[in-house]
Amino acid sequence: MVKLEFEHRQAGHCESGVTRNLLNYHHHKISEPMAFGIGAGLFFSYLPFLKMQHAPTTSFRVWPGQVFDRATKELGVKTSIHTFRNPKESMDKLNAVLEQGYPVGLQVGTYHLPFFPPEYRMHYNMHNMIAYGHDNGNYFISDTLMENLVEINYEDLKRVRFAKGAFAPQGRMYYPTYVPKDIDIRPAIIKGIRKTANNMVGIPFPIIGVKGIRYLAGRMRNWEKKLGPEKASYYLGQVLRMEEEVGTAGAGFRYIYGAFLEEASGVLNQPWLREISFEMGENANKWREFSYLGSRNCKKRGKPDQSYDFLADILLEVADREEKIFKKLATIK
């Protein structure tokens, strides 16, 4: 039986929350937005060829796993990451690591997670949570989506760690093994901001970053003609679900990134970043307005200010704002 002294904190985004909680256990205090920003989590891509729940995928963040990997690397934290073929082996390894006194981050599929809110039950294999102890086949879990600590039994845990399907977790587990004292987070912040700026405005590919937002706007205008009203409305709903629901802390991570910029301006002592964080906040409010009007459309109220053209115009405005913001951020020193 092991039960580590673990401080659970709810978070808006599972992976940066896990990163924050794990580092916090090792006495390095950073906030969740900070972990997200250093990990360069913000992103945009629209993938019309990759269908999820019968509609194209819109992604507001980088590939799963990257936030933890980048954040720990930039902070000089040594980590250990494993994937497995054999479920039994992976559970033994988990027990061994817990007994050494490290809480462990786990990548799991959400469909069979017993404590998960029923409205989120879908085949989503990129959820993250922390195991911080076990007792007689019962595992103590800190899931940043949940308000409280939870428990899960051996069989269920094995099942979710080896969920099959797209992006199968294969029992992926990760934990920091060595956290240096007195980390200077300033260079890490600057690198994180540069990386995000490059992702958003620096990649010359039409479905990624700011260009991706414009591409989505262009596609959206044709949805109704091409797909018929029902399917078009469902496609729009899919964008909104990705923006507001899938652990994004609201408005597709734009709020959390604004909070990061505000904090960064204090740490780096660069007041202009604060101005930009306000712009980011207003930009996030614009995204929120988009999802509000879009959801009216999904309810089929059919007012002119909720037409696809109108919504696409909002997206274009958002794209312009973000281009301005990230071009400025790219010049950070």
| Positions in the binding site for other proteins (CB under 8 A) | 10-12, 33, 51, 53-54, 111-112, 114-115, 117-119, 121-123, 145-152, 156, 164-166, 168, 233-234, 237-238, 240-241, 244-245, 249-250, 255-256, 258-259, 262, 274, 277-278, 281-282, 284-285, 291-292, 295-296, 298-299
113: region left, alpha or beta (phi > 0 left; psi from -120 to 50 alpha) = beta
What DSSP character marks residue 253?
A: G
| Least Å from the CB of residue 185 to other proteins | 19
Give which of 56, 61, 64, 65 is closest to 44, Cα–Cα. Answer: 61
Least Å from the CB of residue 243 to other proteins: 9
**Minimum distance of other proteins from residue 152's CB (angstroms):** 7
Q: How far apart are CA 328 and CA 319, in angstroms?
A: 14
Tokens 């294999």: give the residue.
125
Q: Which is nearer to other proteins, 141 or 208 (CB)?
A: 141
CB of residue 171 to other proteins, shortest distance in Å: 16
Q: Which is nearer to other proteins, 211 or 248 (CB)?
A: 248
* DSSP of 38-69: HTT-EEEEEEEEEEETTEEEEEEE--TTHHHH
Residue 318 CB, shortest distance to other proteins, in Å, is: 14
Q: What is the largest CA-CA distance in the chain?
A: 62
Tell me the closest approach of the beta carbon of residue 91 to other proteins, in angstroms.
18
Measured at the alpha carbon of residue 207, what is the angle toward residues 202 and 208, in degrees to the nearest 5? 35
Instruction: Give the span between the Cα atoms of 103 and 331, in whole angstroms.
Output: 38
77 or 311: whose CB is closer to other proteins?
311
